[in-house]
Amino acid sequence: MKVDGVAYRTVWPGADGASVEIIDQTLLPHRFVTVPLHTLDDAARAIRAMQVRGAPLIGVTAAYGVALALAADPSDTALANAAAVLAATRPTAVNLRWALERMAAHLRTVAPADRAAAAFAEAGQIADEDVAVSSAIGDYGLALFREAASKAPGRPLQVLTHCNAGWLATVDWGTALAPIYKAFDAGIALHVWVDETRPRNQGASLTAWELGRHGVPHTVIVDNAGGHLMQHGRVDLCIVGTDRTTATGDVCNKIGTYLKALAAHDNGVPFYVALPSSTIDWRLDDGVREIPIEERDGREVTHITGATAGGGLETVALTPERSTAANFGFDVTPARLVTGLITERGVVAASRAGLAAAFPDQANA
């Protein structure tokens, strides 16, 4: 997508052939800054600190992290160490494991002397595939949006999304936002309700920034407003991304997604989840019991960072000094609350049968 007229991806090889560039997402929407990653530790830190975040982008950055590690030491030991260090950065998004396993399987067949080049090439391939997959998700979602818009003649289609599943969460296009961009570009009138998505506010800071840059009409709402809007007929459909989806269609996504799905179910609002197949964990059946939920620093709840009137960035306390805070990063929406999964192979039922029919090659691997 374009930023000030310049086309960007969220991660790309550096011009020196030895580094990787990313957009520092912790500074958005107030500053647009790109930073280079030179080492395995740089890549691991960028993922852990959420300079890059979003399930697909975490996976692609990890793949490049392996390449950076092998450029310093192409041995089997270094390959295993890189995979272990990167796998430990964030527990919930399964694209991380998927990318690391794909890199390791490929690189084990390559002689150490050729490994760094092969790793950069494979990471680039994963990035290119992610763009193609996100674009396909957008195309399948566009068909759904067309149908929904035909049922809302004479007014913009009202869409609600949670967290950031846009191009910033992938390499380009996004998952949940890809259909929104494709629909907007196709001339479908729409408006997006953007959940602010506490505690890190990826909706208010990232989704709103992306949509604004593309010219998509949107309104930021507090996380608790969705139910009210749905009760009053002001949401036609919800669409979110996911960090891990089980083989049975349970969907793990940013904390608060489950509550939106419950409200959608109660109000007859379709609830769609957009995902690349790299987000499906074929080894899991029961999302609520089996998916590891990241617990993050309570300071993300007790404090908040924003821009001052003078243009500086400042962090302030929200809570009494002695109050502790719990910070669960994700929750699980059971498959029964999901209207459909929008994948790169079409819209499928959130069920074992639906996923297996679309991805027989992966389901039976």
Q: Which of 1, 11, 46, 163 binds ligand MRU (CB under 6 A)?
A: 163
51 makes contact with ligand MRU (CB under 6 A) = no
What is the full DSSP assignment across 174-203?
Answer: -SSHHHHHHHHHTT--EEEEEE--TTTTHI
CA-to-CA dists, residue 330 to 93, 198, 297, angstroms: 10, 11, 13
| Cross-strand partners of 348 | 341
Dihedrals phi, psi of 303, to nearest 5 degrees? -130, 160
Instruction: Please name the amino acid found at residue 301.
Output: V
10 makes contact with ligand MRU (CB under 6 A) = no
277 makes contact with ligand MRU (CB under 6 A) = no
Which residue out of 172, 236, 243, 281 is catalytically annotated? 243
195 makes contact with ligand MRU (CB under 6 A) = no
CB of 301 vs ligand MRU, minimal distance in Å: 14
Pick between residue 70 and residue 165 the one whose CB is nearest to ligand MRU.
165
253 makes contact with ligand MRU (CB under 6 A) = yes
Q: Which helix (DSSP H) or strand (DSSP E) does residue 273 occupy?
A: strand 271-274
Pick between residue 54 and residue 74 the one whose CB is nearest to ligand MRU.
54
> Coil, strand, or helix at residue 299?
helix
Pick between residue 158 and residue 202 the one whose CB is nearest to ligand MRU.
202
Per-residue x/- track, 121-160, ligand MRU (CB under 6 A): ----------------------------------------
* Nearest residue to the partner ligand MRU, using Cβ: 241
For residues 78, 81, 82, 85, the Cα torsion angle rounded to the nearest 10 degrees is: -160
Between CA 13 and CA 3 the distance in angstroms is 18
Positions in 326-355 near ligand MRU (CB under 6 A)? 329
Helix and strand totals (H; E) in the chain: 14, 18
Contact between residue 153 and residue 187 where contact means Cβ atoms under 8 Å apart: no
CA-to-CA dists, residue 74 to 84, 118, 318, 327, angstroms: 15, 11, 47, 38
Catalytic residue list contains 331: no
Pick between residue 242 and residue 333 the one whose CB is nearest to ligand MRU.
242
Alpha helices in the chain (DSSP H): 40-48, 55-72, 76-87, 95-107, 112-150, 177-185, 202, 208-214, 226-231, 257-266, 287-290, 299-302, 352-358, 360-363
Q: Which of 9, 53, 102, 244 binds ligand MRU (CB under 6 A)?
A: 53
56 makes contact with ligand MRU (CB under 6 A) = yes
Q: Which of 196, 309, 316, 205 is nearest to 256 (CA)?
A: 196
Q: Which of 243, 250, 281, 331 binds ligand MRU (CB under 6 A)?
A: 243
Count of residues that bind ligand MRU according to CB under 6 A: 17
Three-state secondary structure readout of 61-85: HHHHHHHHHHHHCCCHHHHHHHHHH
CB of 47 vs ligand MRU, minimal distance in Å: 9
Q: Which of 11, 22, 55, 192 binds ligand MRU (CB under 6 A)?
A: 55
Q: Which of 22, 254, 335, 355 binds ligand MRU (CB under 6 A)?
A: 254
Positions in 87-126 near ligand MRU (CB under 6 A)? 93
CB of 270 vs ligand MRU, minimal distance in Å: 18
202 makes contact with ligand MRU (CB under 6 A) = yes
Q: Which of 138, 199, 241, 256 binds ligand MRU (CB under 6 A)?
A: 241
218 makes contact with ligand MRU (CB under 6 A) = no
CB of 109 vs ligand MRU, minimal distance in Å: 30
Q: Which residues bind ligand MRU (CB under 6 A)?
A: 53-56, 93, 163, 165, 169-170, 175, 202, 241-243, 253-254, 329
Q: Which residues are catalytic?
A: 243
